[in-house]
Structure formats: C-alpha cells, structure tokens
C-alpha cells in the first residue's frame, strides 16, 4: 500500500477514535455478537486458506492446530470478554465463578479455568490461574480489573498492531485487545507471511471496519516503518522478534545498537510487545514407567513440532537430570517421536538458515526425518551457548543436563538455570510425576513462583495458557525497551486484570484411564493438540462449533472424538 492509502486509513480512524472511546458497553457487545456470527460462517474458509499456505492436506489431523489456534481461540475470547463486559455494565462481579486465594507468601491467585461446568468437562484435569503482582490482594483484586472502563481516557487514541505471521489468531486477538482492553481504534498491518487471510478477516470484522474503528493494511517492512512513525499513531503493539521491536524503538542501521545501549529512542510512542524467546521444558526426576516415558515424549515432541516449530513458545531446551535412570530412555523416545510425527513443510521464511545455525554451532546435531534436528548434550555451564541465547523458531530441539541428588535439588537448580541462562521470559514447562509432586509438597508451587516467565505450565504445555481466554499472555513483567527480551505488557486477559504477574497452567501427567491408577482425578485422554492425536481434526472442529453456539448436544460428540484420540 502506498502512503496515500495509509494516510487515508489513519485519517478515518482518527475521525472515529473519539466515538469509540465514548461508546457504551452495550454497543461494544453488539459488535462482538455480530463478529461472532460472521466468524462462524467463515471459519471453514479461514482453515482452507491456512492449510494451503502451510502445505497441510485437508484431512490431516494436524489441521487441528489451525482450528484451535485460529477461529476457536478468537471465539472463546469473544465469549469470555462478553461475560466480563456484561458484568462491568451491570455492576456485578466479573470474577463470579473464579476462585480467589492467596499463597503462603501473600501473592494473590485467581483461578480462571475451568470457568464453568463445560470447561471442567472438556478439559478435565486442567486448570489455569493468574497470579497477581505484589500489592494486589484478595480483598482489592476486583479494584484492579478493567481500568479502561473505570477511568476511561478523555480522548481517543489510534493503535498500530503489527500482526504475526505464524499463528492465525494472533493478529485478531491483538487488535481486539487494543479495542476492548485499551480502548483504542486500530490499524492492523498483517504480516506478509499470512496476509492471505486479510480478505477473510475483513469480512469477519466488517462491522468494526464499516463504522471506522478498524482498518487492515498490507505490505512489508517499509509499510510498518511508515506507520510506526506516523504522527497520528499513538501506540504500537508488535508480535514478532526482538530484532523487530528494537528496529521500531531504536531504528535501523549500524548505530542502532549504540542507541539501544544508551536507551536513546528514535520512537518514543508506547510500544507493547510479545517477542518469544528460548523456552525450557524441565523434566523432574521420578518413578516414571515406560508408558510415562512414551507419553511424555509425545508431549515434548508436540511442544517442539506443533505448527512446524514456528511458535514463540515452542520448547527449545529440554532440561534433564544428570544421572537419572530414565534420562537416556526419554531422549531416545523423544528422538523417535520427532522422527515419526507427520511430515510437513517448514513454511516460515528463514527456517533453513536457523536450522543451519544450530547445526553449525553443534557438530553433534542429528538430522531427523524431514526437516527436524535434535541437539543433545549442550553444556549447561556455558552462559553463551547458542541454544540458550538464540531462538531457533524452527523444528530444532536441544537437550542439556543438570546434576542433583534429589528431585527438590534438581528443580531448584533448573529454575535458576532457566532464569539466568536462557534468553527470554515468555513460557516455561515442568514435567513431574504425581508421586514426585506429593513428595515435593509446596516446593513445586515455590518453583512456579520463582520462575520468571509469563506463563508456567506444570504437566502441560504453555500453549494451553495461550488458548485460555481469561488467562494473560505475555512476558514476565519488568522488561524495559533496552532489554526487552520476550516483551512488555500482556494480551488476551479477558478478565481485564490491570496488574497480573504470570499465568500458571496445570494438567494431568498421564492420560485417562492411566491417570486414575496414578492417583490423578482426571479424565482427559491424549490432548487434541498433540501431534500424535489421530482424531484431533474432528475434535477441534467440534470444539469450534461448540464455541459458536454452546449447545449442550454437541458435548457427547466432542468427548467421543477426544477419547478416540
């Protein structure tokens, strides 16, 4: 798009920004209702486009990723934010149905999932909590919800959203968050990697576009640069790389690094960002069986291979206990799972170069089937290890080991390692046997508290947090533009928390029915997001249909498909 068209889009938004800022909640809810209806009618077209672009056959179980990470994620967020806004408008409790508690150290915890019986049934054994920043108490947490509605700005603003090219729901969720949480109209520049979805998005969001509150624009880095410096753009949100963030804030060219060192910003607009990083999966030693090893190997392979590895929270470093009797068996099982998973193209630009970078850094790198790479034995004591400081953003997994005499000692060492050696703070995973959980007692929660990550998943993958609409999504708070790592601020957050610190997800260590014999009260089978789940596509489609209308008659079909997975 040329500058004239971009200026026109910004001018139209500037004209409408004050109207949006003063729009009653009832009218905002009407837009959400109309968008939900349009999305339901265009979701199949959305998926067909994504399948073609990513080289997936139309009946591949892997298409569940496009349903869950596309229409489903947007629909569930719309449903959740609708409930929140209805409560704010009626003056009732937005946290109705959410348990509020405090940890022993006083930190306030809000359980945001399961939110109702349907969530409890469909994701049985999974739960999600949002942990608040210090100073937020169980008594005042409701005072820290929805500041844009308690104390709205007196003037409207225009936000620029720079969409991501990997997961198709990111741009829609980010623009909705700017509209409904930050109270700003939006110009959304789609990433050239997935801007093929632009016409479909324009159809889905037509009500907002027609009334001047949203514009989609297209183009490369030059368009993004023009919009970032446009005098009528008040704020910027970017999902992408740390390099992109720094180019926005500190400019390009050889002097950009020096400007960053001096924190000399060429762009002083507020910039929020979600930027990925090096995600760990910590394996706590315990009495794992052969079945446990095989299931968790599938879990780890999923954390790496989902979306062909092009996820900001793809597991990158598998942190294992040195000397544990099952370490080598688990590595072997992970190797097999990576090797056998359905092949797919590495569709995201630059993947081959990033894989080669890992291979160049590690002579022991193993080329597996298709485009996958496994790097074992990375030295945990090397603070500048390539695998610890560079996000692969490709189907490449590394392993490292830490010595410890006990599970508690290993967990403490692993937390320190993740916090101090790995670049980024977006998401961390912990895999731990139920018996070990009981032995650890409060030390497991203390480890979750100590991990400086925006989402911590215990016996789950942090992507569950991404799909939990009432959870927060973003880096651990405290980053600054000159050391941004995984970003600044949060999105999703359908309960509109003003001061969240992190999201903590918990899941069952074993699938049903083995979960019962393991002492876990969970009926979840192999999750539908697993790359090994053969009925995942059907389950994901049915979950999306349920998100559209909430009809109870759909539940048996969802559960039957899930159990066959």
Both tokens of residue 498? Answer: 């003003």
Q: Indicate whether 240 and 348 sit together in one domain.
A: no
Residue 361 is assigned to a structural domain of this protein: yes
Cβ atoms of 440 and 411 within 8 Å: the answer is yes
Residues in the chain: 565
Q: Indicate whether 240 and 318 sit together in one domain.
A: no
**pLDDT score recorded for residue 97:** 84
Give Cβ neighbours of residue 345 (< 8 Å, ≥ 6 apart): 54, 55, 308, 371
Which among 250, 274, 298 is the end of a domain? 274
Q: Indicate whether 389 and 253 sit together in one domain.
A: no
Q: For residue 313, what is the domain's CATH number? A: 3.40.309.10
Instruction: Give residue for tokens 């002097």.
Output: 255
**pLDDT score recorded for residue 8:** 97
Residue 66 is assigned to a structural domain of this protein: no
Q: Indicate whether 238 and 292 sit together in one domain.
A: no
Cβ atoms of 565 and 298 within 8 Å: the answer is no
Q: Indicate whether 246 and 330 sit together in one domain.
A: no
pTM, two decimals, is 0.96
Cβ atoms of 491 and 475 within 8 Å: the answer is no
Q: For residue 42, what is the domain's CATH number? A: 3.40.605.10
Structurally, the chain folds into a number of domains equal to 2
Both tokens of residue 180? Answer: 């409904």
Q: How many CB atoms lie within 10 A of CB 479?
A: 19
Runs of H (alpha helix) within 459-535: 463-467, 514-517
461 closest CA partner among 300, 323, 342: 300
In DSSP terms, which residues pair with 102 in a beta bridge? Answer: 108
Per-residue pLDDT of the chain (565 residues; tens, 9 = 90+): 899 999 999 999 999 999 999 999 999 999 999 999 999 999 999 999 999 999 999 999 999 999 999 999 999 999 999 999 999 999 999 999 899 999 999 999 999 999 999 999 999 999 999 999 999 999 999 999 999 998 888 899 999 999 999 999 999 999 999 999 999 999 999 999 999 999 999 999 999 999 999 999 999 999 999 999 999 999 999 999 999 999 999 998 888 888 999 999 999 999 999 999 999 999 999 999 999 999 999 999 999 999 999 999 999 999 999 999 999 999 999 999 999 999 999 999 999 999 999 999 999 999 998 899 999 999 999 989 999 999 999 999 999 999 999 999 999 999 999 999 999 999 999 999 999 999 999 999 999 999 999 999 999 999 999 999 999 999 999 999 999 999 999 999 999 999 999 999 999 999 888 888 777 888 899 999 999 999 999 999 999 999 999 999 999 999 999 999 8
Residue 539 is assigned to a structural domain of this protein: no
For residue 230, the enclosing domain spans: 3-60+93-274
Measured CA to CA, the distance from residue 141 to residue 152 in angstroms comes to 19
Q: Indicate whether 258 and 309 sit together in one domain.
A: no
Residue 390 is assigned to a structural domain of this protein: yes
Report residue 552 CA to chain centroid gap.
Answer: 28
Residue 87 is assigned to a structural domain of this protein: no
Cβ atoms of 178 and 184 within 8 Å: the answer is yes
Residue 565 is assigned to a structural domain of this protein: no
Both tokens of residue 448? Answer: 């979750």
Q: Indicate whether 336 and 206 sit together in one domain.
A: no
Which among 274, 300, 331 is the end of a domain? 274
Q: Indicate whether 421 and 453 sit together in one domain.
A: yes
Cβ atoms of 212 and 12 within 8 Å: the answer is yes
Beta strands in 465-565 (DSSP E): 472-474, 487-488, 490-492, 500-506
Residue 533 is assigned to a structural domain of this protein: no
Q: Indicate whether 190 and 164 sit together in one domain.
A: yes
- Residue 208: CA count within 13 A, CB half-sphere: 31
Which among 274, 296, 317 is the end of a domain? 274
Q: Indicate whether 254 and 318 sit together in one domain.
A: no
DSSP state of 391: -
Q: Indicate whether 254 and 300 sit together in one domain.
A: no
Task: State the Cα angle at 159 between 153 and 162, rounded to 5°.
Answer: 155
Q: Indicate whether 302 and 241 sit together in one domain.
A: no
Residue 290 is assigned to a structural domain of this protein: yes
Both tokens of residue 261? Answer: 């060192």
């Amino acid at each position: 798009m040329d500058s004239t068209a971009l200026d026109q889009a910004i001018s139209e938004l500037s004209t409408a920004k004050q109207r949006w800022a003063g729009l009653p909640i009832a009218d905002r809810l009407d837009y959400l209702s109309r968008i939900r209806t349009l999305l339901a009618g265009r979701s199949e077209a959305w998926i067909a486009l994504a399948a073609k672009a990513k080289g997936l056959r139309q009946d591949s179980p892997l298409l569940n990723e496009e349903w869950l990470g596309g229409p489903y994620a947007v629909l569930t967020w719309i449903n959740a934010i609708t409930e929140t806004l209805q409560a704010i408008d009626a003056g009732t409790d937005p946290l109705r149905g959410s348990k509020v508690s405090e940890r022993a150290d006083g930190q306030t915890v809000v359980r945001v999932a399961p939110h109702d019986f349907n969530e409890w049934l469909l994701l049985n054994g999974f739960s999600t909590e949002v942990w608040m920043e210090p100073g937020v108490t169980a008594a005042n947490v409701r005072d820290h919800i929805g500041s844009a509605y308690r104390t709205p700005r007196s003037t409207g603003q225009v936000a620029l959203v720079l969409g991501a090219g990997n997961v198709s729901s990111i741009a829609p969720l980010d623009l909705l968050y700017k509209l409904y949480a930050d109270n700003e109209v939006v110009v959304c520049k789609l990433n050239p990697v997935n801007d093929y979805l632009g016409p479909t998005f324009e159809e889905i969001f037509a009500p907002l576009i027609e009334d001047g509150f949203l514009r989609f624009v297209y183009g490369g880095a030059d368009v993004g640069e023009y919009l970032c410096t446009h005098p009528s753009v008040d704020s910027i949100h970017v999902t992408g790389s740390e390099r992109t963030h720094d180019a926005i804030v500190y400019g390009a060219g050889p002097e950009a690094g020096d400007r960053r060192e001096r924190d000399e910003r060429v762009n002083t607009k507020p910039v929020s960002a979600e930027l990925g990083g090096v995600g760990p999966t910590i394996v706590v030693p315990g009495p794992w069986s052969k079945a446990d090893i095989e299931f968790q190997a599938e879990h780890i392979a999923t954390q790496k291979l989902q979306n062909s590895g092009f996820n900001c929270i793809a597991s990158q470093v598998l942190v294992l206990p040195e000397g544990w009797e099952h370490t080598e068996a688990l590595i072997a099982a992970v190797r097999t799972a990576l090797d056998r998973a359905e092949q797919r193209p590495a569709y995201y630009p630059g993947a081959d170069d990033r894989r080669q970078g890992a291979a160049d850094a590690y002579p022991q790198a193993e080329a597996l089937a298709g485009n996958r790479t496994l790097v074992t034995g990375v030295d945990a004591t090397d603070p500048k290890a390539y695998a610890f400081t560079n996000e692969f953003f490709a189907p490449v997994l590394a392993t490292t080991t830490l010595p410890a005499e006990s599970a508690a000692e290993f967990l403490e060492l692993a937390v320190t390692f993740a916090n101090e050696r790995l670049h980024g703070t977006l998401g961390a995973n912990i895999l731990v046997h139920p018996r070990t959980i009981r032995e650890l007692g409060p030390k497991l929660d203390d480890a979750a508290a100590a991990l400086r990550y925006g989402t911590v998943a215990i016996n789950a993958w942090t992507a569950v947090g991404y799909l939990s609409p009432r959870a927060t999504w973003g880096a651990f708070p405290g980053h600054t533009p000159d050391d941004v790592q995984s970003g600044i601020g949060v999105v999703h957050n359908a309960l509109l928390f003003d001061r969240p610190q992190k999201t903590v997800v918990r899941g069952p260590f074993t699938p049903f029915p083995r979960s019962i014999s393991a002492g876990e009260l969970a009926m979840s089978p192999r999750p539908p997001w697993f790359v090994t789940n053969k009925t995942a596509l059907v389950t994901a489609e049915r979950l999306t249909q349920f998100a559209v209308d909430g009809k109870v008659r759909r539940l048996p079909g969802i559960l039957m498909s899930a159990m066959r997975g």
